Amino acid sequence: MLMEILENDEDLHMLYLTKIFAEPAVASDLLSFDTEDAESLLEVYLQDIYATQTRVSLMLNNIRNTESMLT
């Protein structure tokens, strides 16, 4: 889902809820402001998610290896 948002400029612009709330006219021209900050944050979140997935996978492998040694 985060990848889909990163690939869609309109979705990235819609992440700026405070800006849209404060200036409703901005909503009519979503492409009028830069989404670099939101894009950077989402990329960091994705990196964290991938790192966590890797750690979980390694832990599962360690558990399986330990179980196989004990049985």
Give the tens place of pLDDT for each residue, 14-65: 898 888 899 888 878 877 778 999 999 999 999 999 999 999 999 999 999 9
Task: Give, for 5, the enclosing helix (H) or strand (E).
Answer: helix 2-7
Q: What's the pTM value of the predicted model, to 2 decimals?
A: 0.72
Question: What confidence score (pLDDT) does residue 6 get?
Answer: 92
Question: What confidence score (pLDDT) does residue 43 get?
Answer: 96
Question: What confidence score (pLDDT) does residue 28 get?
Answer: 82
Question: What confidence score (pLDDT) does residue 59 get?
Answer: 98
**Per-residue CA distances from 71 to 2, 52, 59, 67 (Å):** 41, 29, 18, 6
Domain residues of the chain, as ranges? Answer: 2-70
Question: What confidence score (pLDDT) does residue 40 get?
Answer: 95
